[in-house]
Structure 1
Amino acid sequence: MAVASGGGRQRRVLPGFGLTMGLTLTYVGIVVLLPVIALALKGAEIGPVRFWDIVTAPRTLAALRLTVTAAALATVFNAFYGLLMAWILVRYRFPGRRLLDAMMDIPFALPTAVAGLALTALFSENGWYGQVLAPAGISVVYTIWGVAVAMSFTSIPFVVRTVQPILEDLDTSQEEAARTLGATPFQVFSKVIFPAILPSFLVGATIAFARSLGEFGAVIFIAGNLPMKTEIASLLAVIRLEEYDYNGAAAIALTLVAIAMALLVLSNWLQSRLTRRRVPA
């Protein structure tokens, strides 16, 4: 947006836009784009045949399958729990609410390795949770469930913090009108509230999934890192680096990046479609 000055020149409302935009794009290019481009170029050097052989190797397929499945389990849990937590933080007032709100950011501040150690101690057979689950024959440590728990812990804030501001800014007049017309609480939520927060909800869930795909520190302690069983893809990439197999590490990392980017693009596309559908012509 621009306004006319006394001399007829167009002056921008936001001063310094060109400089700030240039600095922002420079930062994004150096910190984000260059590493991704370097990874893509390294993957291109491998060649399609060699790249396919690396990705379809039994150990790589097992690691990718475990990573994607555990990330999906964590995302499903985070989608429901994150939405519920955002709803409680926005719609209710109770003692300790601010503390609970602050606790949602603990996974951001806590080192993931520390989180992995804590989760392993809690879910081991002698841990607080493990000693309750063990008599029922439920084992979490060194299983896919442990991987999913660790991924869920590190990615839950993305759903909560994405949905929470939309709920806070939501106009309640439509809810009140629906109640006046006799709608039940479930109908109000499913027909009025949820469609309004659906775009942000999808974005939060997708980001949580992408974050889970690349999780490393919190998973390696609770997973046990058993090849073909509980070995995640990011750990396998690190193992390939330690073996000086740079092509193998690049192929695995590029596959994870491609999956995450495809999901983010799909999420943004769905978000734009849902937003345009809700905006009247």
Structure 2
Amino acid sequence: MSSLPSGRAAAPAPSRRRRQRRALPGFGLTLGLSATYLGVIVLLPIAALLLHAASLSPAEFWAIVSSRRAVATYRITLSSAFYATLFNAGFGLLLAWVLVRYDFTGRRLLDAMIDLPFALPTAVAGIALTALFARNGIFGQWLEPMGIKIAYAQPGIVIAMAFTSLPFVVRTIQPVLEDLEVEIEEAGHMLGATDGQLFARVIWPVLMPSFLAGASLAFARSLGEFGAVVFIAGNLPMRTEITALLTYIRIDEYDYPAAAALATVILLSAFVMLFAVNALQLWQLRYMRRS
């Protein structure tokens, strides 16, 4: 074995684990900042809400959330959010498909308009919808004589919820469609698969997780919608009054514990729905990996 020349220091052995340079600070700092932001913006308001609700006794809490007026708002809110999500699930899927798979004049404009409900104040959306579907509105003056009542009825609530939650479905499905390779579909056609078989066995299994995620986000957004609904709903107790509006009425009456109790019901409903959808997505992903 040859020895090193005298007077020359031995070069240090290269480290096995080279420390990678990162554009952002280390894990501890980024995790701490993220946890702090999450705690202040999300967890702290939820904790304050639950604290107000906890000030009620179980009997008082149940009396508030199970009152006849409150139950009517649950029925109107949940059914309207369900119908709006059902419409957005189908229409949003078709709209995302058109934007990804077809090139036509005005495509970029249509794609930009999808985000309009995000930028538009919900109160402005409610006023615009009321101007369209009120009795003397552009469409309402023709629909009401035919017996079709939109404004100040549940169909108006559904339309307002669908308007504000549509982007969640489209923007969740669109990236998955863009990443879906067209060559797979062409190979399926060459093997003799029909369009229906190709969609059911190739495209839909890939789209299903994002489809469920978009629909669940749209449903959760519809549950909490307020500004667009109050203008077109008419806010008639037992008929067109949503839970968010009843919560606002209780706050306006300075009955904060009652408002917190009603808000807790909405919060728990959204959590249960999101948990169920995430569980379904997890099961579907595991099924795809096994198959």
TM-score range, shorter chain: over 0.9
Counterpart of 1:26? Answer: 36
5+ residue gaps, structure 1? none
Note if 1:11 corresponds to 2:22: no
Counterpart of 1:212? Answer: 222
Counterpart of 2:147? Answer: 137
Question: Which of the numbers 68, 75, 81 marks the counterpart of 2:85?
Answer: 75
Counterpart of 1:116? Answer: 126
5+ residue gaps, structure 2? 1-12
Structure 2 counterpart of 1:158, one-letter code: F
Counterpart of 1:188? Answer: 198
State the secondary structure of the residue aligned to 1:279.
helix
Runs of 4+ in 1 over 6 A off after TM superposition: none
Alpha-carbon separation, structure 1, partners of 2:18 and 2:286: 31
Note if 1:126 corresponds to 2:136: yes
Map 1:57-206 onto structure 2 (within 5 A). Answer: 57-206=67-216
Counterpart of 2:239? Answer: 229
Q: Which moves more between the two structures, 24-33 or 214-223?
A: 24-33
Counterpart of 2:5? Answer: none
TM-score, normalised with respect to structure 1: 0.94
Alpha-carbon separation, structure 1, partners of 2:150 and 2:263: 27
Alpha-carbon separation, structure 1, partners of 2:21 and 2:192: 47
Q: Which moves more between the two structures, 238-247 or 35-44?
A: 35-44
TM-score, normalised with respect to structure 2: 0.91
Structure 1 position 119, deviation (Å): 0.0
Counterpart of 1:267? Answer: 277
Structure 2 counterpart of 1:16, one-letter code: P
Structure 1 position 127, deviation (Å): 1.8
Note if 1:43 corresponds to 2:49: no
User: How much is the aligned-residue C-alpha RMSD, in angstroms?
Assistant: 1.6
Q: Which moves more between the two structures, 235-244 or 12-21?
A: 12-21
Structure 1 position 13, deviation (Å): 6.0
Query: Rg larger in 1 or in 2?
Result: 2
Per-residue CA deviations over 1:190-240 (Å, capped at 9, x if unaligned) read: 221111110110010011000000000000000000111111100100100
Alpha-carbon separation, structure 2, partners of 1:137 and 1:90: 39
Q: Which moves more between the two structures, 28-37 or 98-107?
A: 28-37
